[in-house]
Amino acid sequence: MGYQPDKNRYQTMQYRRCGQTGLKLPAISLGLWHNFGDTTLIENSRQLLQRAFDLGITHFDLANNYGPPPGSAERNFGRILQEDFLPWRDELIISTKAGYTMWDGPYGDWGSRKYLISSLDQSLKRMGLEYVDIFYHHRPDPETPLHETMKALDHVVRQGKTLYVGLSNYPAELARKAIDILNDLGTPCVIHQPKYSMFERAPEAGLLDVLKEKGVGCIPFSPLAGGQLTNRYLHGIPQDSRAASGSQFLNPDQLTEEKRLKVVALNALAESRGQKLSQMALAWVLRHDAVTSVLIGASKTSQIDDAVGMLENRQFSAQELATIDDILNRSN
């Protein structure tokens, strides 16, 4: 019989309109940045994807360089898609990106037309797809004319290789320019993917306002600050944690004592709300009406369950928001 998704998968998930477009995304989306490369057992990756879809998570977010090694997350996802999800392809939003180093030489990085179109072709081949739902430019290229990069995004939509296009890691004013160019070309930008969390509030300084003004959706990544906004580090750094291994995504130096004390205070507030810290941190990112969906990573299905459980308690009182700001602004 194979995998059969939960019949009630659409009952509890909330779907939110992406800016002023026809596209709706689940409030929680699953990012495949970690735990889908060749270093992870494919059965574990399969369980994560199945659990996510069973809970109404319809959006799976990839990039050309996700792994390790680069390309392996797309390849493994493609295999699971063919084996388990093909009958439900039209219920899924699958996104990928290009913008970071992917292959040797001058055409395997940044934002040229040559790189973006070649990379998307490779991504489609790895995943066994005719098109993706969203294709992002992963980071701004300071040397390629912005118009060339945006024209390449417009081109792949017209080719039918992607339904929508988006931006990632663009600062506010550059995002505004890129959005305007895409509008002029007739291929609107539907979504922007910035890094945003309680510990990374840069998008509040203009970017979220631009997206709201322009009718563009927003899907923050790293909402838990690489795991810092969870209960894992309340008492320091456990030996088996990501931080202890000194991974490139979270190193022990980031977890200062000052930050740990903030985490402890935030955790106490989360407990008073009847939530885990991770759930409160996700709800806090989603509180902003410019934010469409929040991207989570997961290594265990229980983490997906926790994230979706957050939807039961998404509201904040003015007092709670003030308390969070006070904690985040403390210098001990």
Domain of residue 212, CATH code = 3.20.20.100
Give the structural domain span for 68.
15-230+287-314
Residues of the chain with pLDDT > 90, as a percent, come to: 91
* Domain contains 101: yes
Give residue 244's Cα distance to chain centre: 24
* Domain contains 322: no
Closest to 74 in 3D by CA, of 109, 37, 99, 100:
37
* Domain contains 277: no
Contact 190, 166 (CB under 8 A): yes
* Domain contains 104: yes
pTM above 0.85, yes or no: yes
Contact 49, 80 (CB under 8 A): yes
For the segment 179-210, what is each residue's pLDDT rounded down to a tens digit? 999 999 999 999 999 999 999 999 999 999 99
Provide CB contacts within 8 A for 159, sequence distance 6+. none
Tokens of 57: 């998570």
The pLDDT assigned to 236 comes to: 80
Average pLDDT for 106-125: 98
The chain-wide mean pLDDT, for the chain, equals 95
Q: What is the tally of structural domains in the chain?
A: 1
